[in-house]
A and B are shown apart, each in its own frame.
Chain A
Amino acid sequence: GQQLNQSPQSMFIQEGEDVSMNCTSSSIFNTWLWYKQDPGEGPVLLIALYKAGELTSNGRLTAQFGITRKDSFLNISASIPSDVGIYFCAGPINAGGTSYGKLTFGQGTILTVHP
């Protein structure tokens, strides 16, 4: 299966700051997904990307599907305390897979926001 490398592993920021995290792979992905997981909960989809070069926003969140199809980044602007959690990138576990099939996840970025 395809592997995802996510960085940074953790971030400690002040409320109001912007955040950026990214995900890379040695393989090409046709779909990039970004999830947020709150403690003791399952992950919730934030943004889905389906096309190389695509830039998509969801409120204060913006994500881009890299042109090479081997990377993606997620930005959070003007962070607030409820942004705290673990952010995961994910993609189909096999080349040609779909966002609603078997998924592989990055290692996660733990975000802490200080008020």
Chain B
Amino acid sequence: GAVVSQHPSWVICKSGTSVKIECRSLDFQATTMFWYRQFPKQSLMLMATSNEGSKATYEQGVEKDKFLINHASLTLSTLTVTSAHPEDSSFYICSATRAQEQYFGPGTRLTVT
């Protein structure tokens, strides 16, 4: 069964508003989670590494003030897209590691109108 969940599975928001996406590891603790973004018909691109108890680390070109990451507990990381714009519309996928294997969540489809 699924070991990583995401909520919501899809969300529509208006331009200029903020939206929060949750990533949870089910029945295991994850000190590190990853956030990826996938545009239609494209590959997954790593955005940031979420570290429990410390600041997230962002990949080059990803605005940390726009994509706020909070690893609130050992089973929960959140990604907040602030002041969303239509170009932020994408499929956001998180992952977590258990027993040296990386499991991906089912993704969250964000549409900004």
Contact = CB atoms under 8 A, between A and B. Distances in A.
A102 B105 contact: no
Contact of B44 (A43, A44, A99, A101): A43
Interface stretch (A60-68, A74-82, A103-111): A103-111
Chain A, interface size category, equals 20 to 34
A46 to B, nearest CB: 12
Interface residues of B, number: 20
A107 B34 contact: no
Contacts of B93: 42-43
Contact of A42 (B41, B45, B97, B107): B107
Contacts, number: 50
Contacts of A93: 46
A105 B34 CA distance: 14
Contacts of A99: 100-102
A29 to B, nearest CB: 15
B78 interface: no
A88 B44 contact: yes
A99 B93 CA distance: 17
A7 interface: no
Nearest to A4: B43
A105 B44 contact: yes
Interface in B32-46: 34, 41-46
B43 A106 contact: yes
Q: Which of B4, B100, B105 has the most CB of A within 10 A?
A: B100
Given A103-B46, A105-B43, A107-B42, A44 B100 contact: no
B99 to A, nearest CB: 9
B1 to A, nearest CB: 12
Given A100-B97, A102-B34, A102-B49, A43 B104 contact: yes
